[in-house]
């Protein structure tokens, strides 16, 4: 492999212009139309692999939550709210019970990372 010299030049940048907003107040308009997938968790369970292979139509898996316990709403595996499962026009839906604070969401993301 031949030694070749690489010429490097200094980059000159102009100073960024002030957008005119108050400090800390970014223009979020571009984000407002982004769709975020929400996952609703109504419970979970663990089964041995042998049992998993035996599942078929009509099989029933008992979940770890009881009737009346709230479902968890998550965005990118971070719990941000709880709600109740309801039926609207023949479809399942979630009635928001509580929006969780930032501290709870951060704790949830830390647990998900473990």
Question: 24: left (phi > 0), else alpha (psi -120 to 50), else beta?
Answer: left
- Quote the pLDDT of residue 99: 95
**CA–CA distance, 76 with 104 (Å, rounded to integer):** 15
Q: Residues with Cβ < 8 Å from 109, sequence gap 6 or more?
A: 77, 78
| Structure confidence by residue, pLDDT tens digits, 47-103 | 999 999 999 999 999 999 998 899 999 999 899 999 999 999 999 999 999 999 877
What value does the mean pLDDT of the chain take?
84
Is residue 104 pLDDT above 80, yes or no? no
**CA–CA distance, 43 with 22 (Å, rounded to integer):** 44
- What is the pTM (predicted TM-score) of this model? 0.62
| Structure confidence by residue, pLDDT tens digits, 9-47 | 777 877 777 666 655 556 777 888 899 999 999 999 999
- Quote the pLDDT of residue 81: 96
* 78-88 sheet: strands from edge to edge: 38-41, 71-75, 78-88, 91-99
Which domains does the chain possess?
38-57+67-113 (2.30.330.10)
**CA–CA distance, 100 with 5 (Å, rounded to integer):** 57
DSSP 3: -
């Amino acid at each position: 492999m031949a030694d070749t010299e690489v010429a490097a030049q200094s980059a000159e940048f102009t100073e960024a212009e002030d957008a005119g907003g108050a400090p800390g107040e970014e223009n979020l308009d571009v984000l407002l139309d982004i769709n975020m997938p929400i996952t609703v968790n109504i419970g979970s369970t663990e089964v041995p692999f042998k049992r998993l292979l035996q599942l078929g139509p009509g099989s029933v898996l008992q979940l770890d939550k009881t009737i009346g316990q709230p479902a968890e709403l998550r965005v990118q595996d971070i719990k941000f709210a709880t709600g109740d499962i309801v039926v609207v026009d023949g479809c399942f839906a979630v009635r928001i019970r509580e929006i969780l604070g930032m501290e709870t969401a951060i704790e949830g993301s830390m647990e998900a990372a473990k």
